[in-house]
Structure 1
Amino acid sequence: MLYWSASLVHRPSGPIQASPFYRRHRELTRRVYTFLLFSPLCLLVLLLLAVPRAFGQVRVFEIGQPTLRGPEAGIHADSPTRRKIDLAGTWSYSLDNETWQDVRVPSSFDYRGRITFLRKFTVDKSTLLSAAIHLVAMGINHDAEIYVNDVFVGKHVGGYTTIQLNLPENSLQLGSENALKIIVTNTLSARSTLPLRKQIWGWRNYGGILRDIYLLVTPRVWIDKVLARSSVSENLNEGHVDVSATLTSNLAESSGDTLGPLLRSAQVLFAAELLDKVSGAMMGQSALQPVNILPNRDLEVKASLTVTTPRLWSPETPDLYTLRVRLFVQQGKLVRMIDDIEQLLGFRRVDVEKGLFVVNGKSVVLNGIVWHEDSPTHGASLSYEEMEKDVVLIKTLGANAVRFAFHPPHPYVMNLCSRYGLFAVLEIPAWNVPAEILGHEAFQVLAEGMITEMVERDLHHPAVLAWGVGDAIDSADPRARAYVERMVATIRKQDDRPVYFGSRTLSRDVCVDQVDLAAVSVRADDVRSFRNLIVQWKGRHPAQPTIVLAYGKEVEAENRNGWSDPMSQQAQARFFERHYAALREAKIAGSFIDAFADWRGDRPLLAVKDGDPYVYPVGLVSADREKRAAYEMVRSLYNAEKTTALPIGRYRATFPVAHIAWGFVVIFVMAYLYHYNRRFNETFKRALIRPYNLYADLRDLRSVSIPQTIVIAVAVSVTLSVVVSGTLYRFRTEPIADYLLTQVVISDALKEHIIDAAWHPFEGIIAFTVVFLMWYPLTAALIRLFSMLVKTRVYWYHAFAIAVWGSLPLVLLSPLGMALFKLLQSDFYVLPAFIIICAFLLWSFFRVLKGVSVIYDISPIKAYVGGILVTLGVAAGLFAFYESTYAITGYIQLILHMAGSLG
């Protein structure tokens, strides 16, 4: 047998005749060295390929639909005193302020970073002289700086609430085009933005001008803000409306302004009227209130009116009224309208009795659905038709409530809920927030601002049932109490409707007593565990209505194999059939199925086997709105109809033979070489039992077989790959495992590869083997680098051999790796299995350090201390990076609180 050697021995000087053996030896050695030299470079290239490109191709979901006009517009309904200059349509955008392209706005940019938008518009001279002009944008995500003709006019933070800015007179030009520039940045931080950088099960962070944008032209004295609150007497015979409005003046002494002289010569009056939405008949009117308008001042005014025997709004009978707020001048019998605003309004009374909602005197259980503002064709910029079709499908489902997850929806959706009869539950994007961040003053200020904007925009809608101050926040930590208390107080200044936050810490929650609803999100496939958790939660909070904010199940889109297959459509339908029965048995106030449709998130999901891992497959309908079996099941449940029997199918769980096959290959190769190769037998025993002798041979430049070293490197790499693959395969559908993986693997592209490897073990083991093989040259490079400190010359191959033979004990994990998937299915074996794996890793670590001490010719203690310090230094550096950039301790604490509360 030919024996390769990496021995480096002294040769006499002078010319020698190179033998064929020597030439072959030199060539083989050169190839090994070349491999070792270029391996770190190869690994670097692989890592760079795994890092997402910050400036890659931008995907834009364009819609460019005109702003809706008429009485059904989401906000700013048409009025004789106001008009809109629509800015929807073609804009220019640039990512670098040098290269410009056209795009239709509204649109959603699947891009993270800074985008500059530019559009030209004109305003006629008479309008500029006689009117005030405001920029209105219903949603620009996330941070928007707004300039008109390069004059800064305002900044807004938050992508899902309405921007309304009064454009200063000096920013607009007469007789020429005006340039509107909006600089949008949607980069999110793990600490300082609201929302925070997304985790799994979040929503897609689309950038750009997502919703309608237009110029609102009003008189120079206008009604700037209207807050309307309706209430119903206890006997339901009388409705009352309280109106609070802000009047703003921007009068100018110009030839075109005729309003100023009129206001100085006549009495200005303010009034509120209530009209029947269908017939337009007057149903009630407030007293006329004289007001004194001063130039460039704001004035707060209030009015109230009463309606006898009002028609009440409910999901069954969504009767609506039109509230008209007027500002006018009266000179004798002559009335001149200055400004007026119309809003939808309804009367309904919601009480809580014995932990249940009572709507207009009737007990109501919320049969709800979670809706996400996302479309496969338009991103977050849904068309009016898409929004209405979704609401119609939800109403057909039999639902009486919608939870708008993560953030307030488009104003038009709220209009639809009031018209069609769907209770709406709204919340700000304070989602998945650790307690450390909840306690920051800056974060609370951002949350207060978004809550104020959300409530002001949708306060008048009778559909609004409750306001949310966050979901999945770390409510097990006392630091969260201050946040919840402050947000509740902010809402109470504007409205008295119930307030909630979504708790996922269950038994450890310390904040739910500060809100009105005991709202919780539970993910549990086992129906008995699900019921027990809900009953226990309800028992801890008997004075509050219990609401399940989200419960649902993943599904494979085309899987119709019967409910015995856990990822089939029938299994999803059966899940809702059984879990809904458990909720009815628990007699809680209501629940929301998660979700109406699949939606796109920011982070890839480990539980998705095939297809797009960024599309979260839990909807009753697909992202394209194709109904699944679960839709028909829920429709039957919500409408109290007889359900259809679901086919069971013939599903048989597959066993991952790849782990057994690869483990067997390692054992077979090791056993064969051990029994039939004397040199391998001796080297194996010496390296395992008496490693000092092997290390001493390397120090003294004696021969160690190159093929044997490479075989051991491959065997150890395959063994570790089998262990990692088995662990991933076992926990691939566990939400907590996915959450932890997302914290560690910050590159989405790299996580996509890990997901593929987890679901396809055979190919995954090969990929992991390549990665682990690259670890050896990196270790060898470190050994050579630190050899400079002790002034010892260490050759590449010897450093490589130390790393390989030092890790030899890891080969003994092959039998464990073959059975690991099965062992981890039992909770009893999880901890012992990982203890054994960690013990072998530590054993190998110290063996490598022992080898380093020998070839460095230093004491083992120094090598151990040095190795531990270097390892701790690297770990500390990584921790500092993760902590400063991604706040990892806060998120780990949050997930531990969630996991611990379920135990």
Structure 2
Amino acid sequence: MSDFRILIILFLTFSLLQAKTYNRNDIIDLYNFENWKVAGFADIEQSKLPLYSDTADTISLTNSFNFNNDSLNGDLYFKSFGVHGLVSVFVNGHLISKQLNHSAPFRVKVNKNYLKSDSSTNTINFIITREKNFETGFPVSTHLYSEPEFIGITRPFFLEIVKKPLFSDFEYSLEKENNEIFINYNYRTSQKAIQDIKNKSGISFEEIFSDSSGRIISKRTIPASSRTTVISNKKTFQISNLWTIENPKFVNFSISLKRFGQTISTQKAKIAIRNIESYKNELYINFEKAKINGINVYENLIAQKSSNLFSDIKQRMMLIKNDGFNAVRFYGHIPDERYFSIADTLGLLLFIDLPIRRYPEIVFQKDALLENLKMSISTTVNNLKSHPSFVALGIGQEVLLSNPSTKKFYIILNGATEKPIPFLTYISPVPQNNISKEMAADFYMLDVYDAVFRKVETVVETGIPYALSGKTGFNSDLNYLDHDNPNYAVQQKLLLKTDVKAVLKTLKMQGGFIESFMDWSAKKQSHQNMNEKNKIIRNGFYDSGMTKYDWAKSQINIWDNDELLSLEIEQEKKSSNIFSIVMLFGSLIFFFFYRRYPRFSENYKRALKHPYGFYVDMRERRIIPIFNSFMLGVHNSLILSVFIGSFVFFGSDLLLIQEIMNVLIARSDIYATYLTISNNELLILPFLFILLFLHPLMMGIILKLLGMISKNYVRFRQAIVIGLWSSAPLIFMLPLSFAAYHLLVNNLFVTPMLIIFALFLIWSHVRLINGIRVLVLAKFRVIFLVLLLSYTIPLVIFGFFFIPQPMWYDYLTTLLNSSALF
């Protein structure tokens, strides 16, 4: 039997709307059709699913199927387990569904008139587009730890014929009164089941609850009506019949249509009843305080290598359960619905994230985003409400709740979220002070890009009532990520245990999610995956081929490990002597020429005393030789490149710096080049040196052009010399550049270093201004324009070639305000 047929059997077993005993649904498995006609790929005309792309903006998929509309007995529905991107589905040219909620499952009724009336061929067409604005979807701003933005189809979809349902839309809630549990439930009965009965006298519904062994829990008779009716009831419910993590139990629910006691038809379903709630910032499952021993799962399409078999999904979920975890967070995406079917039977709690991550405040001021989110949440919840494993929905990650518009947005959204079954909403606020106590979601989750134990003080100071930790064990230090390091296993275990200790013991959370179940592929490179094929982030318990790492094989239920009480971990330092060596030899060469050529040393001393940047004694008509200027420019550029390079290299592993550059450099290839340069001292120094040495040349070109425009004669050599000699005082920065990197590594005098550097820059610019004033006899506004152009032109060139992300300034401001995450 095929994996898809096994899936359908399970889906019919657990789904309330499809599980019926009075008939058998007819399924048309469209997903496994071959010869799909594909538009959107230049090199593909026909293909077999799955098919997806991280480069195409639009994909069109078309196929045909045979269906005899004349023999249709019941309603026809189109069911999809989710499509990547914004999708419009057409049958014979008629639009049957348009979905904005990226990758969420959906089910829509198909108008019978759209199908052909005989057995001739029908066509089905998917138009899938990438989200580009907030009016049509949820565009994703690329973060370092975000997956590639795919569009396409990787999950099953099918047509199903549903015959005369007796009831639908089963909803419930639980409450506890005087140590008794009560269930409030309601469902709809439909006129379709009784419309063909001519004599409707004596018609009634018989409702039966029974446990898994078949023992009747409750039974009652309800008068039937030919019109659609909502039936509701409140009754006691035994705690032993609840669905729990330890005992994922289902109960049987049946409705029988009877006439004078004789059964006409019956509909049965297996349903699971469980409760989850948040009370005083604490989570309770089935009225007992919850302990969430979870792990993060990424979508990971590249690593899965197009594998979408039901058996693979089942294997992943069973491995998670066997490793001692009781919860799974699907980070940044809504997973395939087959995960929920498996989790229902294994007793796993599923937390799913909508793709709303680190949006700037201006986005939350858009009404379209609020309306789209309401629609997406409603569609997602209605399609997942039959799964007891679905317990929480993330409606925003890395949110700046200190922004009034953002806080108001989430309060409105959370209040407007309907809950047909018990589930919770959550967001992950950025750790900040001055956040109002009014909750913007049912509970808060902590997501930080550093080990939690290093963020304890920050989290405690904010006073935000985080219930769970979303990235427990995350670390960006290469010392803890190098699998080839012989100490890797020990370091990784220490990191996990220490972080779990911080979550449970220090911050007193109720658990959280380990980062992560398996390695996954990122859209962009970071210092962690620079040398990895497919940009794989190797922080999983399993590699991308589902093989468990040796270090993780001895890990049994990390959340309950008693050894974590006394463990500590020390962060290793990133050392390098290249900057000091280069500065030493560069200075030796400079001082050799300084002593060897008295004219050079004399000019240097006199230039330092002179009020403006270059030395030309108008009385003696003495102009400094170009060789003197060249040597001065080389040495000063070296001093600056070593000082700045020390900060660049030291900060190359800092995620905040990488995220800032990621916002400014949208092109992946250029960003990869930046990473390569910034992580190599021998590349940083020549790159910075060339840029710094060329700046006076550009200044000279601007001054020459200004002279031509103003009809003032300006010698090009003099214009260049102004820029070179204005930086003469940088010679006093030599000791600071020599020691800069070592001071950074040991976190010594960082702020004083930056202050001294700023003072030298101001000193050099004052000399530069005076030099330009003397050379061209210009007013201050002209001089200011020259300086402005000398820095603006490189930025314009940068923007032209590097093409920052849309709304880059808003994203950059949000990122800087979210620095506590890093």
Shorter-chain-normalised TM-score: which range? 0.7 to 0.9
1:856-875 map, 5 Å: 857-868=776-787, 870=789
**How far does the alpha carbon of each residue in 1:678-736 deviate from its partner, in whole angstroms, 9 at most, with x for none?**
565466556655486958799x9998766666655554554443333311222233333
1:103-502 map, 5 Å: 103-111=47-55, 113-127=57-71, 130-169=73-112, 171-173=114-116, 174-188=118-132, 193-219=137-163, 226-229=169-172, 231=174, 233-234=176-177, 240=183, 242-245=185-188, 262=196, 274=209, 284=218, 287-288=221-222, 290-292=224-226, 301-304=230-233, 309=238, 310-323=240-253, 333=262, 335=264, 342=269, 345-350=271-276, 357-360=283-286, 362-378=288-304, 382-492=308-418, 494-502=420-428
> Does 2:4 match 1:70?
no
Q: Distance in 1 between matches of 2:234 and 2:24?
A: 23
Structure 1, unpaired ranges of 5+: 1-62, 250-258, 294-298, 563-567
**How far does the alpha carbon of each residue in 1:834-855 deviate from its partner, in whole angstroms, 9 at most, with x for none?**
2333344444455555555555
Q: Distance in 2 between matches of 1:728 and 1:813?
A: 18
**How far does the alpha carbon of each residue in 1:557-582 deviate from its partner, in whole angstroms, 9 at most, with x for none?**
523432xxxxx342221022123223
Q: Match for residue 595 of structure 1?
A: 516
Query: What letter corresponds to residue 366 of structure 1 in structure 2?
Result: I
- Residue 264 of structure 2 aligns to a residue whose secondary structure is strand
- Residue 635 of structure 1 aligns to a residue whose secondary structure is coil
Among 466, 489, 503, the alignment partner of 2:429 is: 503
1:607-626 map, 5 Å: 607-608=528-529, 610-611=531-532, 614-626=535-547
CA contact (8 A) 2:666 2:803 kept: no
- CA 1:817–1:609 in structure 2 vs 1: closer, same or farther (change >3 Å)? farther
CA contact (8 A) 1:605 1:613 kept: no
Q: Distance in 1 between matches of 2:450 and 2:427?
A: 20
**How far does the alpha carbon of each residue in 1:241-270 deviate from its partner, in whole angstroms, 9 at most, with x for none?**
624349698xxxxxxxxx998377768977
Q: Distance in 2 between matches of 1:782 and 1:354?
A: 65
- CA 1:151–1:666 in structure 2 vs 1: closer, same or farther (change >3 Å)? farther
Q: Distance in 2 between matches of 1:170 and 1:799?
A: 80
CA contact (8 A) 1:206 1:380 kept: no
1:35-74 map, 5 Å: 68-72=7-11
- CA 1:134–1:496 in structure 2 vs 1: closer, same or farther (change >3 Å)? closer
CA contact (8 A) 1:287 1:303 kept: no
CA contact (8 A) 1:141 1:159 kept: yes
Query: What letter corresponds to residue 143 of structure 1 in structure 2?
Result: L
**How far does the alpha carbon of each residue in 1:796-839 deviate from its partner, in whole angstroms, 9 at most, with x for none?**
76655555555555566454333222223465622222233334
- CA 1:172–1:772 in structure 2 vs 1: closer, same or farther (change >3 Å)? farther
> Does 2:587 match 1:667?
yes
Give 1:70 shift: 0.5
Give 1:396 shift: 1.8
CA contact (8 A) 1:107 1:209 kept: yes
Q: Distance in 2 between matches of 1:633 and 1:652?
A: 25
Among 549, 552, 564, the alignment partner of 1:631 is: 552
Give 1:777 shift: 5.6
Give 1:454 shift: 2.3
Q: Distance in 1 between matches of 2:747 and 2:91?
A: 63
Give 1:420 shift: 0.8
- Residue 644 of structure 2 aligns to a residue whose secondary structure is helix
Among 753, 764, 783, the alignment partner of 2:673 is: 753
Query: What letter corresponds to residue 524 of structure 2 in structure 1?
Result: R
Among 477, 481, 497, the alignment partner of 1:556 is: 481
Give 1:426 shift: 2.8
1:877-896 map, 5 Å: 886-896=806-816
Give 1:308 shift: 5.4
Q: Distance in 1 between matches of 2:579 and 2:703?
A: 32
Give 1:661 shift: 2.4
Give 1:598 shift: 2.7
- CA 1:843–1:621 in structure 2 vs 1: closer, same or farther (change >3 Å)? farther
- Residue 135 of structure 1 aligns to a residue whose secondary structure is strand
**How far does the alpha carbon of each residue in 1:49-81 deviate from its partner, in whole angstroms, 9 at most, with x for none?**
xxxxxxxxxxxxxx9978932024686756535
Give 1:404 shift: 2.3
Please report the RMSD computed on the Cα atoms of aligned residues, expressed in angstroms: 4.5
Query: What letter corresponds to residue 456 of structure 1 in structure 2?
Result: N
Among 498, 520, 524, the alignment partner of 2:446 is: 520
Q: Match for residue 82 of structure 1?
A: 25
Moved more, 581-590 or 356-365: 356-365
CA contact (8 A) 1:674 1:680 kept: yes
- Give the share of equivalent positions with the same residue, in percent: 17
Query: What letter corresponds to residue 834 of structure 1 in structure 2?
Result: L
Query: What letter corresponds to residue 316 of structure 1 in structure 2?
Result: E
- CA 1:850–1:119 in structure 2 vs 1: closer, same or farther (change >3 Å)? farther
Q: Distance in 2 between matches of 1:642 and 1:167?
A: 58
- CA 1:439–1:635 in structure 2 vs 1: closer, same or farther (change >3 Å)? farther
Query: What letter corresponds to residue 318 of structure 1 in structure 2?
Result: P
- CA 1:223–1:443 in structure 2 vs 1: closer, same or farther (change >3 Å)? farther
- CA 1:230–1:261 in structure 2 vs 1: closer, same or farther (change >3 Å)? closer
- CA 1:428–1:291 in structure 2 vs 1: closer, same or farther (change >3 Å)? farther
- CA 1:319–1:178 in structure 2 vs 1: closer, same or farther (change >3 Å)? same
Q: Distance in 1 between matches of 2:498 and 2:274?
A: 33
CA contact (8 A) 2:574 2:745 kept: no
Q: Distance in 1 between matches of 2:486 and 2:434?
A: 39
Give 1:105 shift: 2.0
Moved more, 181-190 or 754-763: 181-190
Query: What letter corresponds to residue 867 of structure 1 in structure 2?
Result: V
Q: Distance in 2 between matches of 1:206 and 1:181?
A: 19
CA contact (8 A) 1:272 1:324 kept: yes
Q: Distance in 1 between matches of 2:120 and 2:789?
A: 67
Query: What letter corresponds to residue 144 of structure 1 in structure 2?
Result: V
How many residues of Structure 1 are paired with residues of Structure 2 in the alignment? 806
Q: Match for residue 565 of structure 1?
A: none
CA contact (8 A) 1:286 1:304 kept: no
**How far does the alpha carbon of each residue in 1:135-194 deviate from its partner, in whole angstroms, 9 at most, with x for none?**
332222221233334444442212121233434445434454333222222245599852
- CA 1:589–1:782 in structure 2 vs 1: closer, same or farther (change >3 Å)? same
Q: Distance in 1 between matches of 2:700 and 2:6?
A: 64
Query: What letter corresponds to residue 119 of structure 1 in structure 2?
Result: N
| TM-score between the two structures when normalised by the length of structure 2 | 0.83
Q: Distance in 2 between matches of 1:742 and 1:112?
A: 21
Give 1:474 shift: 0.6
Q: Distance in 2 between matches of 1:274 and 1:647?
A: 53
- Residue 325 of structure 2 aligns to a residue whose secondary structure is coil
1:435-834 map, 5 Å: 435-492=361-418, 494-510=420-436, 513-525=439-451, 527=453, 529-533=454-458, 541=465, 546-554=467-475, 555-562=480-487, 568-586=488-506, 587-608=508-529, 610-611=531-532, 614-628=535-549, 631-632=552-553, 635-640=556-561, 655-678=575-598, 680-681=600-601, 684=604, 690=610, 694=614, 714-772=634-692, 778-779=698-699, 781-792=701-712, 803-806=723-726, 813-825=733-745, 829-834=749-754
Moved more, 471-480 or 65-74: 65-74
Query: What letter corresponds to residue 71 of structure 1 in structure 2?
Result: L
CA contact (8 A) 1:285 1:305 kept: no
Give 1:891 shift: 3.5
Structure 2, unpaired ranges of 5+: none
CA contact (8 A) 2:449 2:821 kept: no
- Residue 821 of structure 1 aligns to a residue whose secondary structure is helix
